[in-house]
Amino acid sequence: MSDIKIKYTGDLRTLATHVSSGSTIITDAPLDNNGKGEKFSPTDLFATALGSCMLTIMGITAQTHGINIDDTEVTVKKIMGVNPRRVSCIKIIINIYNNISEKDRKLLIKAAHHCPVSKSINPDIEEDVTFNFH
């Protein structure tokens, strides 16, 4: 269990602190919602959490099965909907640059789709995930 404290610092910004490590994240409202857009927005973090979780679970699977996924990169694009304003789609592109067997590719794809963040997202939010094996 992780404890996180969040403080409103003014100007539509927050400071989130991961209590056990002291690590911090500053959020800013996006430009299209009265903010400065100079930091991650809360909805950016939401979409980022999906990509990061997928890659983490892939990493655990890779470590368990002796698969090298070093230098794998994930690109996340968040698409906002209206009425109500919400994240409507998260597009994820996962680029894996190592020689991965077909069997291990299937294992990694399955792992990514079973990350806890993905399992926690409302089914109304589209998850568009592309895997590129280079």
Predicted confidence (pLDDT) per residue in 88-97, tens digit? 999 999 999 9
- Domain co-membership, 70 together with 119: yes
Check whether residue 59 and residue 15 sit in a common domain: no
Domains of the chain: total: 2
106 and 60: one domain? yes
Query: Residues 76, 20: one domain?
Result: no
Q: Is the pTM of this model over 0.85?
A: yes
CA distance 124 to 134: 31
Q: In this model, does residue 1 exceed pLDDT 80? A: no
Q: Buried b vs exposed e over 11-38: b needs ≥16 C-beta within 10 Å?
A: eebbebeeeeeeeeeebbbbeeeebeee
Retrieve residue 91's tokens.
């597009």
Tell me the backbone φ, ψ of residue 43, rounded to 5 degrees: -75, -30
Give yes or no: residues 28 and 58 share one domain. no
Q: Which CATH number fits the domain that encloses residue 79? A: 3.30.300.20
- 97-124 average pLDDT score: 96
Residue 2's pLDDT is what? 78
Helix (H) or strand (E) holding 38: none
Identify whether residues 28 and 60 lie together within a single domain.
Answer: no
- Identify the domain containing residue 95 by its residue range: 42-133
Residues 58 and 89 in one domain: yes
- 22/51 same-domain check: no
34, 19 Cβ separation under 8 angstroms: no
Looking at the structure, do residues 24 and 89 belong to the same domain, yes or no? no
Same domain, 78 and 107: yes
60 plus 13 within the same structural domain: no
Q: What secondary structure letter does DSSP report for 69?
A: -
pLDDT digits (tens, 9 = 90+) for 62-90: 999 999 999 999 999 999 999 999 999 99
